[in-house]
Amino acid sequence: MQKNSNIVKAVNKNVRSSPRKISLVLDHIRGKKVDAVLRDLDFIRKKISLDVSKTVKSAIANAENNNQFDIDNLYVKEAYVGKSLVMKRFRPRAKGRASPIKKPFSRITIVLSEKKEIKNGPKN
């Protein structure tokens, strides 16, 4: 099995938000160039966009420092979210009962890839 050498990954574990809310932001950035992604994340009106932006910046730093990729050619190849732990809390209700509250955590994974520039020669 050959390992793909032109991808780089960053994972943000234990983000305090539900995966459903995060996937709305990730659907918006998938397939775009990283400079456009960072610009778009600044203007998204969701609190979770700060954590997504932090993960994208981490992936860019990994690509630049560990793999010596050119930042101008990077784009978001994959962006997905998965479940992590769930804190269970209880709220008091009427007649001595209690109702459960689930506080979910998520795991954000950003995979960047480098687009190769194809130089076209003269056509004969």
Q: Is residue 124 part of a domain?
A: no
Q: Is residue 1 part of a domain?
A: no
- Residues 3, 29 contacting (CB under 8 angstroms): no
Tokens matching residue 119: 């130089």
Give the pLDDT score at 115: 82
For the chain, give the mean pLDDT: 89
pTM of the predicted model as reported, rounded to 2 decimal places: 0.83
- What average pLDDT does range 72-81 have in this prediction? 91
Number of domains in the chain: 1
Q: Is residue 122 part of a domain?
A: no
Residue 52: which domain range? 7-114
Spatial strand order of the sheet with 7-15 comes to 7-15, 98-114, 74-92
Q: Is residue 121 part of a domain?
A: no
pLDDT tens-digit readout, 89-108 = 999 999 999 999 999 999 99
Instruction: Strands of the chain (E only): list them.
Output: 7-15, 74-92, 98-114
CATH number reported for the structural domain that contains residue 59 in this entry = 3.90.470.10
CB-count burial class (<10 Å; 0-12, 13-18, 19+) for 78: middle
Cβ neighbours for 20, distance < 8 A, ≥ 6 positions apart: none
Q: Is residue 123 part of a domain?
A: no
